Amino acid sequence: MSDITIHRAEGTWVVRAGGAVLGESRDALELSEGDLPMVIYFPRADIAMAFLDQTGHTTHCPKKGDATYFSIVTKSTTLENAAWSYENPIDGAERIAGHIAFYTTDFVAVERV
């Protein structure tokens, strides 16, 4: 298994879903884990949490801990389990506490602007 690296993501990052900007941040974090695609974690303070509903879905990562999932509620649809957060990340991943990440799909865009 490879190590996780977390560092400040350069520039300004936005997340959009359902035609709306859910968040914009200059304080996002970039997490890399082996050969997996890089993931941007947004500070919760920079996300419109009113668009997110916590679900009962959880997963466990041996390098990050237990993930809590959120659905994105837009005007036209609900995107189930489209975002996740590590509420209490394990040692080595503490920097992502208080942050939320999003699956990029045809309906959700995470991009640097």
Each residue's pLDDT tens digit in the chain (113 positions)? Answer: 468 999 999 999 999 998 899 999 999 999 999 999 999 999 999 999 999 999 999 999 999 999 999 999 988 899 999 999 999 999 999 999 999 999 999 999 999 99
What's the Cα-to-Cα distance from 99 to each of 38, 62, 76, 93, 94, rounded to whole Å? Answer: 15, 18, 26, 11, 10
Q: Whose CA is closest to 70, among 85, 59, 60?
A: 85
Distance separating alpha carbons of residues 61 and 51, to the nearest angstrom: 26
